[in-house]
Amino acid sequence: MPKLTIDGIAVEVPPNTTILQAAESVGVEIPRFCYHDRLSIAGNCRMCLVDVEKSPKPVASCAMPVGEGMVVHTKSDRANKARGGVMEFLLINHPLDCPICDQGGECDLQDQAMAYGFDRGRFHENKRAVKDKYMGPVIETVMTRCIHCTRCVRFATEVAGVPQLGATGRGEDMEITTYLEGALASEMSGNVVDLCPVGALTSKPYAFNARPWELRKTESVDVMDAVGTNIRVDARGRTVLRVLPRVNEDVNEEWLADKSRHACDGLRYQRLDQPYVRVNGKLKAASWDETFAVIVGKLSGINGSKVAAIAGDTVDAESMLALKDLLTALGSPNLDCRQDGAALDPTVRASYLFNSTIAGIEQADALVIIGSNPRKEAPVLNARIRKRYLKGNFQVTVVGDAVDLTYKHKHLGNDLAAFFQSPEAPAGAKNPMIIVGMGALSRPDGAAILAAARAYAEAIGAVKDGWNGFNVLHTAAARVGGLDLGFVPGQGGKDTRGILDAAGKGEIEVVYLLGADEIDTAKLGNAFVIYQGHHGDRGAHRADVVLPGAAYTEKDGTYVNTEGRVQRGLRAVFPPGDAREDWTIIRALSEKLGKTLPYDNMAQVRARLNFVNPLFGTVDKVQPAEWKAFGAAGQISSGSASSPITNYYMTDPISRASRTMAQCTEEFVMGSKQKTGTHG
């Protein structure tokens, strides 16, 4: 453990720590552009120069390991002068166009120029100019501003696993570009915008929309996938302008997937901002009272068993709880939160959780993926798998789609029956883990697959004291929350498939869809459909009554991610028009129906949530689940276990309404546009 002195503070750090890291550990901040603690060290910006005694020259602290007895001065005249010189060189070829630059106000170069910049330039020659590059629908480029820190190149190569970015040429002619100027084909590409310390890479959808000081920042949780990425929602007035990641080492580190980041413009289009009632086959705007009267009229005199409810993929736990309580009060056992019909066992919590936790992936030494494509289903989680893979000694086996997961893996075909007949165990693994995806579990024989996967996990030693490597990767943010609070068929109740069948036959007369858009609405037959949600999507098209609810940025909500981590999102903006927070709609309806729910405010709803399942009280923590038998014996039919996500960019009503996601779909899913002469 070398001991050194930094600005007069004695510090002892592990060997191989860099001076910059050691300085950070005692709260001494050193300016930097190229250094980033989650990327490899490049040492090419030279901004982090410090003065080390007995060293003839200033030292780049990001790349210099500490030594015993070093005496470092980070604020000496020599260090300041060196940084001033570096800054002057950086600004030689940097256009001083801050007033028209989107990074203005949150630009590292701008901030550090305030500290180290000279008050005038001494460079009177022509500055260089660089042609802007095309990098896809979400990244705007102004390459003249680039200072060649290569953070974006290292991110694409190391974290995203798509080595398409690079620096061509050299010296003054160095340019950052993608290969042949194609779009950066990664689900994580938006992160290079956060990493860019200047305004060279900025967000295309957010271009010229706002300055950072105009925005109201609200901490929240993402619902576009089941990872529960921690986000910050930036809004101005009633509009969400952008979504940025927050740091959470246990979940997303500091990354955010493109859909979660850029689907927010979908919150502005296709919104349900007032209640509708279907009259003579057409939806007509109505008031809340009229709408409730129609529902009350329909529900009165109907046996509870003829009523059913399906909860969607992005619903918060509070509204699911309210709807469950309402259905129970009406005497209906027909409710399900598994739109895709996945055979998840709600009685055993370990059977539907990502038990090893996302951070726990780094402790595993082998991975078997069954019927899942984590790159599309949970890009941030896939980045964690890649991080583990890069450390070496990590074998990955895949049964399912043959796809590029950004890490090397052994593909064992796409036939689950064949795989489970002669399962192949990862050789010599101490902490193996398996990921079972919805591609496998949502098949009609899902229960048998779940049992087979459990047996397989036990056989390869993935479940033992101190290690549970049995993982279910969900595709829906609401799924684990729904299962935890028991939004599943009650005694003799029907599940999603059963509800659709019965509705088609006329046995179920009223179906309540709470943000459920991923079911086949054609199967609902002649049932009376109440749709509560925020977007005019599939559910609303079929609905007889539409109740306008709030999207995830417009309500306080509790979400449980695929690990079973309870997280709370906060309201960033108000819902549009007459739309209301979802649980309040159900509460109001219950009063009209004469079955008033016993809660009037959020605190009471959360108290009820804690009562239903005490786990909801342990926010931001993962409670290990007890390992028990689950699944059902049965025949596994041969057939593929393809991921349910065919188009990553459009999986829910918000992303389907988003223009940016439509552009991404066009670029990445439908194949690159044929470039014409006008494309530069």
Partner 1 sequence: MSNRSLAKEQPASFAFNAEYLARAKVVIAKYPPGRQASAVIPLLDFAQRQEGWVTRPAIEEIGKMLDMATMRVLEVATFYTMFNLEPVGKTHVQVCTSLPCWLRGSNEVVKACKEKLSLGMGERSADGAFSLGELECSGACVNAPVIQIGDDYYEDVDYASTGKLLDAFKRGETPAHGSAIGRMGSAPAGDQITLTENPTPPPKQDFAAAKAAFEKAKAEAAAKAAAPKA
| Residue ranges that bind partner 1, judged by CB under 8 A | 157, 163-171, 173, 175, 178-180
Task: Name residues whose C-beta falls within 8 Å of residue 126's C-beta, 6 or more positions apart in sequence.
Answer: none
Which DSSP helix (H) or strand (E) runs through 659? helix 659-664
Output the smallest distance, CB 165 to partner 1, in A: 7
Q: How far apart are the first and last CA of the chain?
A: 56
Output 18 or 406, the one with its CB closest to partner 1.
406
Output 92 or 210, the one with its CB closest to partner 1.
92
Output the smallest distance, CB 168 to partner 1, in A: 4
Output 12 or 404, the one with its CB closest to partner 1.
404
Output the smallest distance, CB 202 to partner 1, in A: 22
Task: Name residues whose C-beta falls within 8 Å of residue 661's C-beta, 6 or more positions apart in sequence.
Answer: 259, 262, 263, 266, 649, 650, 655
Output 303 or 672, the one with its CB closest to partner 1.
672
Output the smallest distance, CB 130 to partner 1, in A: 8
**Secondary structure (H, E, C), 362-392:** HHCCEEEEECCCHHHHCHHHHHHHHHHHHCC
Output the smallest distance, CB 166 to partner 1, in A: 4
Return the closest-CA partner of residue 277 out of 291, 263, 257, 258. 291
CB distance 441 to 343 below 8 Å: yes
Output the smallest distance, CB 65 to partner 1, in A: 24
Output the smallest distance, CB 465 to partner 1, in A: 36
Output the smallest distance, CB 406 to partner 1, in A: 12
How many other C-beta atoms are found inside a 10 Å radius of the C-beta of residue 513?
27
Output 144 or 647, the one with its CB closest to partner 1.
144
Output 130 or 368, the one with its CB closest to partner 1.
130
Output 119 or 173, the one with its CB closest to partner 1.
173
Residue 437's Cβ-count burial label (10 Å; 0-12, 13-18, 19+) is: buried
CA distance 283 to 546: 8
User: How far is CA 241 from each of CA 139, 232, 261, 268, 430, rounded to the nearest angstrom?
Assistant: 16, 11, 10, 10, 46
Place of tokens 């991921």: 643
Helix (H, G, I), strand (E, B) or coil at 219: strand
Q: Which residues pair with 510 in a beta bridge?
A: 307, 528
Output 393 or 618, the one with its CB closest to partner 1.
393
Output 15 or 169, the one with its CB closest to partner 1.
169
DSSP states of 121-177: ----SPPP--------TTEEE-GGG-----HHHHIIIIII--TTEEEES-GGG-EEE
